[in-house]
């Protein structure tokens, strides 16, 4: 992340309509992914990097593009690095 | 020409014996938005695209084969010791009837892979936009696979693969920027 750069959120939510006639308990919040590749255009020079070993694990050298996905089940269990 | 390195791009670990996960994972093996489709799509498109982005298609197309190999390893680990009864219980009875425990290029519903999944339009922008869409669809598939799986080690590998799709999409988007750039105009960051 460069200084002064705005950091967007990689996930957004919306609330679908819930009908009084729905047969199943409603899911009131839906989440969707808006990954980093949507925001930057051509990658500018000088972005912050991971160390080589952290980059191999993350799947990217660039901190800006690191966007790990966790299921809601994992998030409830608190699975995060 | 290719060189083969006898190791995986990222270590594959599976900690729970749950062959049903193999049934889901095979979507990324022989499905429409899977790694085989990605590799073959990019490596074929590169012959009829401007020189500036040929290298990118070679790099990403090659990497997709490394991903294919990771998915194959996951599926293999989950099914190699499964009995016919376990295969049946995992929803893989129809797979077993045709293939025993062998891997095959079909999707999670058993639909065999077809070249109709991929395109080479010869129009650089059309092809790159397809590639961007393919990466976003593969990213989404990995999300749903992570949602379906409760194996922490498997999910670690799937998260890595999803991250690579994010990067591939970024690079294809940059390729579009390169091709649409006006001559003599300066790049402004
Ligand atoms: Fe990819």
Between chains, do B187 and A42 touch, taking CB under 8 Å as contact? Answer: yes
Provide φ and ψ at B46, rounded to 5°: -65, -15
Nearest Cα residue to B63 out of B29, B37, B39: B39
Nearest Cα residue to A65 out of B61, B167, B185: B167
What is the whole-number distance in angstroms between the Cα of residue A51 and the centre of ligand 1? 23
Residues A1-59 pLDDT 10s: 555 667 899 999 999 999 999 999 999 999 999 999 999 999 999 999 999 999 999 99
pLDDT value at residue A6: 74
Owner of token pair 């939510």:
A13
Its ipTM equals 0.91
Residues of A in contact with B178 (CB under 8 A): 42
In a mutagenesis test of the A interface, which of B163, B176, B179 is the best target, namely the one with the most A β-carbons within 10 Å? Answer: B163
What is the whole-number distance in angstroms between the Cα of residue B44 and the centre of ligand 1? 15
Between chains, do A33 and B139 touch, taking CB under 8 Å as contact? Answer: yes
Residues constituting chain A: 81
Between chains, do A72 and B10 touch, taking CB under 8 Å as contact? Answer: no
Residues of A in contact with B146 (CB under 8 A): 69-71, 74
Between chains, do A37 and B166 touch, taking CB under 8 Å as contact? Answer: yes
pLDDT value at residue A12: 97
What distance in Å separates the CA atoms of residue B128 and residue B110, rounded to the nearest whole number? 29
pLDDT value at residue B102: 97
């Amino acid at each position: 992340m460069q200084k002064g750069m705005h950091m967007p959120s990689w996930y957004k939510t919306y609330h679908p309509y819930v009908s009084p006639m729905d047969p199943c308990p409603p899911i009131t919040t839906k989440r969707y992914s808006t990954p980093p590749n949507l925001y930057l255009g051509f990658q500018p020079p000088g972005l912050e990097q991971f160390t080589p070993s952290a980059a191999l694990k993350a799947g990217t050298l660039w901190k800006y593009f690191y966007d790990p996905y966790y299921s809601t089940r994992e998030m409830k269990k608190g699975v995060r690095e | 020409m290719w060189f083969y390195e006898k190791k995986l791009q990222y270590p594959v670990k599976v900690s729970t014996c749950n062959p049903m996960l193999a049934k889901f994972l095979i979507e990324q093996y022989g499905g429409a938005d899977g790694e085989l489709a990605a590799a073959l799509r990019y490596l074929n498109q590169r012959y009829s695209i401007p020189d500036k982005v040929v290298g990118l298609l070679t790099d990403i197309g090659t990497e997709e084969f490394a991903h294919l190999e990771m998915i194959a390893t996951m599926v293999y680990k989950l099914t190699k010791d499964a009995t016919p009864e376990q295969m049946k219980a995992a929803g893989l009875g129809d797979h077993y009837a045709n293939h025993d425990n062998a891997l095959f290029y079909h999707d999670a519903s058993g639909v065999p892979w077809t070249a109709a999944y991929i395109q080479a339009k010869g129009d650089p922008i059309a092809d790159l936009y397809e590639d961007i869409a393919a990466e976003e669809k593969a990213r989404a598939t990995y999300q749903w696979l992570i949602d379906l799986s409760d194996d922490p080690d498997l999910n670690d590998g799937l998260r890595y693969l999803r991250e690579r799709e994010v990067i591939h999409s970024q690079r294809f988007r940059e390729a579009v920027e390169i091709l649409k750039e006006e001559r003599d105009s300066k790049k402004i960051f």
